[in-house]
Amino acid sequence: MTFGGWPEVSQRWHNEEGLAGALQWHFAAMWLLFVNFLVYLVYGLISGHFRRTIFPIQLQEILRDLRAALGGQLVHRVGERNAVQRVLYIGVITVIVLTLLSGLSIWKPVQFQELTAVFGGYDTARYVHFFCMAAIVLFLAVHLALTALVPKVLPPMITGRAGRRR
């Protein structure tokens, strides 16, 4: 199995060398993102997770934590998010929504012509989709790098629960 499918089969069935397989991988990744995002949103809203851990955010907190982070003096407590982290989570949630909507508008631009028009047309929607996906990849790369630098946060990230203090 290759990442874009089998070129011989694709050539025989579609008269091309892998675009159909690449599209299938793309749509598989899209469904994985969509389902995970939907579960996360539903859980976050119903359980009150967003209200407890992300909101409210004040500009003074953001500036204070950003200064501390840039100076290497930001204290990290397992199970708590600082203001910069909360803003970035809101940002990535927004970017995922934009990615899904722009993806719909470039997948079916005639059926979703109003949505495509909101993005400024098909070509602009493609740019939005590309840059939003790049932002998600950057967010994940930074997330993984910071997790590698502070390994004590990995178990709570996996289980969703911070360790109990004794």
54: helix, strand or coil: coil
Higher pLDDT, 127 or 20: 127
pLDDT category of residue 47 using cuts at 50, 70 and 90: very high
Mean pLDDT, the chain, integer = 84
129: nearest Cα among 156, 152, 106, 102: 102
Q: How many CA atoms lie within 13 A of 84 on its CB side?
A: 13
Q: How many helices (H) and strands (E) does the chain have?
A: 8, 0
Neighbours of 18 (CB within 10 A): 19
What pLDDT sits at residue 2?
53
pTM comes to: 0.77
153 burial (CB, 10 Å; 0-12 / 13-18 / 19+) is: middle
